[in-house]
Amino acid sequence: MSIYDAMRAKGFSYETTASVRKFACPNCGFKFSLVYARAFACQGCSEAVKGCPKVRCAKCDHEFFINETPEINGKQQQRIMADHICDVVNQHYDGLGITVYNR
């Protein structure tokens, strides 16, 4: 059972489960999740805490829109996921005592 399936079985929200589901980079094929991308490839980017609608591959640095990933269909889901990932990053920074000015 994958982490995605286990989380879904425990009642986690669509946004949370979709953010940990792995997909392949359309450029190099590297498999990663949205959370992984935000934690590594987008680290330090000011847009990562402002609801950026893009994702960046940590291996080849290719940037593309979230709605180009499986399970994310259309601009509305892209916005929901971008905001969710933004909230995850901001909560992480809050837990570290780092103030981030966003939105």
Structure confidence by residue, pLDDT tens digits, 10-52: 777 777 777 778 889 999 999 998 888 888 888 778 887 788 8
Residue 103 pLDDT level (bands cut at 50, 70, 90):
very low
CB-side neighbour CA atoms (13 Å) of 97: 0
- How many other β-carbons are positioned within 10 Å of the β-carbon of residue 69? 23
Question: Are 58 and 40 contacting, i.e. CB atoms less than 8 angstroms apart?
Answer: yes
The pLDDT of residue 101 is above 60: no
